[in-house]
Amino acid sequence: MKVAVVGATGMVGSVMLEVLAEQQFPYTELLLVASENSVGKKLTYQGKEYAVIGLAAAVEAAPDIAIFSAGGDTSLEWAPRFAEKGTVVIDNSSAWRMDPTKKLIVPEINGQLLTKDDLIIANPNCSTIQLVMVLAPLHRKYGVKRVVVSTYQSITGTGVKAVQQLENERAGIQGDMAYKYPIDKNCIPQCDVFLENGYTKEEMKLTNETKKILDPNINVTATAVRVPVVGGHSEAVNISFENDFDLQEVRALLSQTPGITLQDDPANYAYPMPRMAAGKDDVFVGRIRRDESQANTLNLWIVADNLRKGAATNAVQIAKIIAAR
Instruction: Render pLDDT for 253-262 as a digit per residue (tens, 0 to 9).
Output: 999 999 999 9
Q: What is the arithmetic mean of pLDDT over 129-157?
A: 98
Alpha carbon distance 121, 97 (integer Å): 8
pLDDT tens, residue by residue, 182-226: 999 999 999 999 999 999 999 999 999 999 999 999 999 999 999
Strands 120-122 and 103-104: parallel
Q: CB of 31 within 8 A of CB of 85?
A: no
pLDDT above 90: residue 325? no
- Give me the pLDDT at residue 231, please: 87
Q: What is the pLDDT of residue 90?
A: 98
Average pLDDT of the chain, as a whole number: 97
pLDDT attached to residue 6: 97
User: Which residue of the set 126, 139, 187, 191 is catalytic?
Assistant: 126
DSSP collapsed to 3 states, the chain: CEEEEECCCCHHHHHHHHHHHHCCCCCCEEEEECCHHHCCCEEEECCEEEECECHHHHHHHCCCEEEECCCHHHHHHHHHHHHHCCCEEEECCCCCCCCCCCEECCHHHHHHHCCCCCCEEECCCHHHHHHHHHHHHHHHHHCEEEEEEEEEECHHHCCHHHHHHHHHHHHCCCCCCCCCCCCCCCCECCCCCECCCCCEHHHHHHHHHHHHHCCCCCEEEEEEEECCCCCCEEEEEEEEECCCCCHHHHHHHHHCCCCEEECCEHHHCECCCHHHHCCCCCEEEEEEEECCCCCCEEEEEEEECCCHHHHHHHHHHHHHHHHHC
Q: Any residues with CB less than 8 A from the CB of 124 and at least 6 apart, and which?
A: 97, 104, 105, 106, 132, 209, 213, 314
Confidence of residue 24 (pLDDT cuts 50, 70, 90): very high
Confidence check: pLDDT of 315 > 90: yes
Summarised one tens digit per residue, pLDDT across range 65-106 is 999 999 899 999 999 999 999 999 999 999 999 999 999 999
Per-residue pLDDT, 23: 93
Rounded to an integer, the average pLDDT of 126-151 is: 98
Q: How far is CA 145 from CA 160, 215, 270, 301, in A?
A: 37, 10, 29, 18
Could you give the domains of the chain?
Answer: 2-124+311-324 (3.40.50.720), 127-306 (3.30.360.10)
What average pLDDT does the segment 8-25 reach? 95
Q: What average pLDDT does the segment 148-156 reach?
A: 98
Catalytic pick from 139, 187, 191, 233? 233
Pick from 142, 148, 136: which is nearest to 249 by CA? 142
94-121 mean pLDDT: 97
What residues does 303 pair with on adjacent strands? 234, 284
List all residues 6 or more positions away from 136 whose beta carbon is below 8 Å from its beta carbon.
106, 108, 109, 214, 257
* Catalytic site includes residue 139: no
Instruction: Give residue-wise pLDDT tens across range 260-309.
Output: 999 999 999 999 999 999 999 999 999 999 999 999 999 999 999 999 99
